[in-house]
Amino acid sequence: MDVKKALKYMVLSTLGFACMNATVKYLEEVSSYQIVFFRSLGSLFFTFGFLLKNKIPIIGKHNGLLILRSLAGASSMLLFFMSVKYLSIGSAVSLRYTAPIFAAILAVFILREKVKPLQWLFFLVSFFGVIVLKGFDKHMNSYGLLLVIIAAVLSGLVYVIISKIGKREHPAVIVNYFMVTAMILGGVLSINSWVTPKPAEWPFLLSLGIFGYIGQIYMTKAFQAASTNIVAPLKYIEVVFTATLGVMLFQEVYTVWNLLGIALIIGGLVLNVWYKSKYNN
């Protein structure tokens, strides 16, 4: 176990995702459908290359679950990108991270998993953070909030489906299915609303897949370098990086209540990861 290496990898991963989030925010005039299309297309260059290079079969064995995971993931991605157009990127990312709460609830019914009382308390802390974030921010867009919460629910479903798949499929196959589905979804939905990007927007559109791939690959490396209870809480560094970019690049303003809400959301989730990894194993 190499904690320093895991920390380095996770910092690179969260920075990659934060840059992707900021790029989506910058492309406000570009349709969310097109953003999903280009983000997926860019990542497919890497995933297909990896599968072909390592001679891994592109078609998995559990196609039903793979397709269901891909549809849920692609829909979640689309709704999150749409929400960024209405919310500050720091708040949107924080709210998206409520996904583990919905994953835990869904896992109770689908996977018959048990959630201990203290874990529900931690989830309640995070949910209270959502209330603080919205309740004390009169300027927070309700439509954007609805979009990102639905995105979080679908993301929670993704976690459950991946748990269902387990180690029966190679991670690259799962990601590849996701990117193909997202590309098709984004492409089809863009047909009637396609707007040719401006010359200055093309580099940003093409960078989406690169940032997304950097985030994915280094996150995987981090989990391989150290135990989950050490690495998982580090994922929330993405919120710090994203909010910082929001302030620096888009002059976003975060009130004390915004910061308290974000802190409660992330704090409750980090405590849950710590507790689950320490007492549920």
Which stretches within 191-236 are classed as H helix? 202-225, 228-231
- Asked if residues 81 and 17 have their Cβ atoms less than 8 Å apart, the reply is no
pLDDT over 70 at 230, yes or no: no
Q: Rounded to whole angstroms, how far apart are CA atoms 18 and 246? A: 10
Q: What pLDDT is stored for residue 15 in this prediction?
A: 94
Confidence band (pLDDT; 50, 70, 90) for 174?
confident
pLDDT over 60 at 281, yes or no: no
pLDDT over 80 at 105, yes or no: yes
139-173 pLDDT, tens per residue?
788 899 999 999 999 988 988 888 888 778 888 88
- Asked if residues 156 and 99 have their Cβ atoms less than 8 Å apart, the reply is yes
Mean pLDDT computed over 193-209: 90
249-271 pLDDT, tens per residue?
998 888 888 889 889 998 888 88
Q: What is the DSSP letter of 88?
A: -
- Asked if residues 151 and 21 have their Cβ atoms less than 8 Å apart, the reply is no
